Amino acid sequence: MPLHTLDHSNWVDNYADWLFSFAFYKVGKKEDAEDLVQETFLSAYKGRETFNGSATEKTWLTAILKNKIIDYYRKSKVTGNLTDYLNDTEESFEGSFFNADKSGSWNESIRENYFSPAADSYLISKEFQKFLSICLEKMPLKLRSVFLSKYITEEKTADICNEFGITPSNYWIMIFRSKILLRNCLEKKGLLR
């Protein structure tokens, strides 16, 4: 007797929101996220014979969705060539946050930003989370999709690199830039000081 069983009559009620938000944060477009969820349900239904009961329904459906997302990025050119993107934007990024002497040190304005630590409870407060959401939305889509992959599922670096077709070193550059932009946005809102 398998540990878990499938009951597709409850899939939409039980998992549509979860799968949608998972997809939405990764692809950033509502319509595309809905399409992905729909494809996931249909594929899952077609492949229901292959479900062996070792994982929960939710985990199983999420795994199917993940594969759909990988296909989505491969097929569409949403992310374009991320390596080109990084090279094209390098100068403006470095110019905004790093010293012009190319030594790699932070620029003057960053150096003034010594912060006082925020309380743990504040970081998970509704107010902070609201601004976090605003700042995440402001992040360029190319950076956001990679950045969120890391945080939404705690996927391994190698898997994310594979998914987006980037090298680990470019991956870390993207995570870094995302963090700097996020920090900059939160600082501007007076939240991280």
Partner 1 sequence: MNYLKRLLHDCHGFSILALKSKNDHVPFTEKLELKFHVAICKCCKNFIKQSDQIDQSLKAYFSENEITSSAKVSDDFKIRMKEKFSKLR
Footprint of partner 1 (CB under 8 A) = 8-9, 11-13, 16-22, 24-25, 34, 37-38, 41-42, 45, 94, 98, 103-106, 110-111, 113-115, 117-118, 120, 123-124, 128-129, 132-133, 151-152, 157, 168, 172-173, 175-176, 179, 182-183, 186, 192
Give min distance, CB of 130 to partner 1, in A. 10
Q: Which is nearer to partner 1, 11 or 60 (CB)?
A: 11
Give min distance, CB of 176 to partner 1, in A. 5
Beta bridge partners of 106: 98
Give min distance, CB of 156 to partner 1, in A. 8
CA distance 85 to 22: 25
Give min distance, CB of 57 to partner 1, in A. 14
Selection from 142, 161, 145, 182 nearest residue 24 by Cα? 145
Q: Which is nearer to partner 1, 74 or 87 (CB)?
A: 87
**Burial profile 15-24: b = 16 or more Cβ within 10 angstroms, e = fewer:** bbeebbebbb
**113 alpha-carbon distance from chain centroid:** 27
Q: Which is nearer to partner 1, 21 or 87 (CB)?
A: 21
Q: Which is nearer to partner 1, 13 or 91 (CB)?
A: 13
Q: Which is nearer to partner 1, 2 or 9 (CB)?
A: 9
Give min distance, CB of 129 to partner 1, in A. 6
Q: Which is nearer to partner 1, 77 or 103 (CB)?
A: 103
180-188 long-range contacts, CB within 8 A, separation 24+: 180/93, 180/97, 181/135, 181/138, 181/139, 181/140, 181/143, 182/132, 182/135, 182/136, 182/139, 184/97, 185/134, 185/135, 185/138, 186/131, 186/132, 186/135, 187/113, 187/115
**51 alpha-carbon distance from chain centroid:** 27
Give min distance, CB of 4 to partner 1, in A. 17
